Structure 1
C-alpha cells in the first residue's frame, strides 16, 4: 500500500494530500529511511512521522483498502511519541 494512502486510512493524518505533502518534505521515515508518498508500506514496518516538534513512531499491524473510523487505530501500534529536545529546553 502507498505510504500516503496508509497515513490517511489509519487516520494518522486526516487528508491524503496533507500526507503526500508531509512525505515530500522529508518528515516521514519507513524503517529509518526517508520515504516518498509512493513508498510501499508493509505489515511490520516502523513508520516515524514528524508533526512539528513531535516525533511519532508506529508499527504497521494491518493493511486494508478501506476502514471505518473505529477500526483505524487497529492498523498500527504506537511505539514511541517524543518531543524534540529544543522544545522542552525552551520551557525551562
Structure 2
C-alpha cells in the first residue's frame, strides 16, 4: 500500500494530499530510509513521522483498504513519542 494512502486510512494524517506534502518535505522515514508518498508500506515496517515539535515512531500492524474510524488505530502500534527541542 502507498504511504500516503496508509496515513490517510489510519487517520494519522487527515488528507492524502497533506500526507504527500509531509512526505515530500522529508519528514517521514520507513525503516530508517527517507520515504516518498509513493513508497510502499508493508506489515512490520517502522515509520517515523515528524509532526511539528513531536517525533512519532510506529509499527505497521495491518493493511486494509477501508476501515471505520474507531478501527483506524488498530492498523499501527505507537513505539515511542518524543518531543524535539528546536
TM-score by length of 1: 0.91
Listed one character per residue, the Cα deviations across residues 22-46 of structure 1 (whole Å, up to 9, x for unaligned) are 0000000000111000000000000
Q: How far apart are the structure 2 equivalents of 1:51 and 1:84?
A: 10
Higher helix proportion, which one?
A: 1
- Give unpaired runs (5+ residues) of structure 2: none
RMSD (CA atoms):
0.6
In the TM superposition, structure 1's runs of 4+ consecutive aligned residues that sit over 3 Å from their partners are none
* 2:50 equivalent in structure 1: 50
2:39 is the counterpart of 1:16: no
Q: How far apart are the structure 2 equivalents of 1:71 and 1:25?
A: 28
Paired residue total:
86
